[in-house]
A = this chain, B = another copy of it.
């Protein structure tokens, strides 16, 4: 009864990992997506030395809070994390979802305090990377410096994609785009790109995409009726990737 659809492999579900909790970058199966990407094995060990791994976060627990002192960036090892900020009038704005192999917290570098909060959407293991040590190490490992610049740059371009989505696209297009994004991020992690379980609620999805829960729900129903998705609560099957891409890409393209 526990996610039969997800082909769960080592480390994706810490509760099932009975063997060896002493994870390190060298043996982490996410190393090819994560910070070690550009490093040789000697350098990976140097990186590994500065990384701290605490006990897994439970669903709902905070990784950091908006306004708290910035000390580290974080890599998700398993589970899923959402980042959000609270607007002046007290409403929440979800700014991103982070899956295994992805790095969050870089918004805190600017003012030395976190510009948003981050909380676990489900039980999640996270690697903490103290930023001071990372900076020092970057000086001796130019490959690491470059890679970290790239990671920040990627965050910028992804935010800009979201800006475009919010500014130009309909509810249906936004949701199609999010489903495709999650699908391709699953593929990167060698999980199924067509069947997966959404770790976030409809509220979070709507919040992230600038829509109300009701609209999210209606769009899911519509996409199901069109036989593009099969939606069963949080379980998603993409039945027609092409159709989904057509919707996300905005079919208009008339001359």
**Could you tell me which A residues sit within 8 Å of B by CB distance?**
85, 87-91, 93, 95, 106-111, 115-116, 135, 138-139, 142, 145-146, 148-157, 159-160, 162-164, 166-168, 207-210, 249-250, 252-253
Residues of chain B within 8 A of A95, CB atoms compared: 160, 163-164
Instruction: Give the number of times this chain occurs in the complex, counting copies.
Output: 2
A/B interface sample: 22 pairs, CB < 8 A: A87-B168, A89-B249, A89-B253, A91-B168, A93-B163, A93-B168, A95-B160, A106-B156, A109-B150, A109-B153, A110-B151, A110-B156, A135-B149, A138-B145, A148-B149, A149-B152, A152-B152, A156-B156, A163-B163, A166-B166, A167-B208, A167-B209
Residues of chain B within 8 A of A116, CB atoms compared: 160
Between A89, A142, A167, A252, the greatest number of chain B beta carbons within 10 A of the residue's beta carbon is seen for A167
Cα separation A142 to B138 with both chains bound (whole Å) = 10
Q: Is the CB of A153 within 8 A of B88?
A: no
Cα separation A106 to B210 with both chains bound (whole Å) = 26
Residues of chain B within 8 A of A156, CB atoms compared: 106-107, 110, 115, 152, 155-156, 159
Q: Least Cβ distance of A128 to chain B in Å?
A: 18
Residues of chain B within 8 A of A87, CB atoms compared: 164, 168, 250
Cα separation A249 to B149 with both chains bound (whole Å) = 33
Residues of chain B within 8 A of A148, CB atoms compared: 149
